[in-house]
Amino acid sequence: MHHLILALTVTPSPDPTGTLRPGLSEDQVTPGTWGFVLTAFIVILTTFLIVDMVRRIRRVRYRAQVEEARLAAEADNADGGSESAVEASSSTDENGDGGPRTR
């Protein structure tokens, strides 16, 4: 392991002056204007997707909190001995899923 580290530290850099190989121009090795525009577009698109995802996750979390509060309130009403509250909490709506009623 020490030999590998020693070999990596002693190996000289290929060309310290920073010149290009013969036959290459600056345009052939840089991304250029289109590369910059495409990269900026991807960054902006990713930012919008992340913001939208956070908004959707927050909405789902709030709906879950409201549902938990509703179930807790129904459980408190059911503990009071009201027979109709127990039937209302266990019944399903016209859709058959127990969720909000939509037509």
Residue 98 lies in a domain: no
Q: How many residues does the chain have?
A: 103
Residue 66 lies in a domain: yes
pTM of the model: 0.47
How many domains does the structure of the chain reveal? Answer: 1
Which distant-in-sequence residues (6+ apart) come within 8 Å of 85 by Cβ?
A: 74, 77, 78
Q: What is the pLDDT of residues 15-53, one digit of tens each?
A: 556 677 788 877 778 888 899 999 999 999 999 999 999
The pLDDT of residue 14 is 61
The pLDDT of residue 86 is 46
Domain span including residue 63: 52-90
Q: What is the pLDDT of residues 54-68, one digit of tens each?
A: 999 999 999 999 999
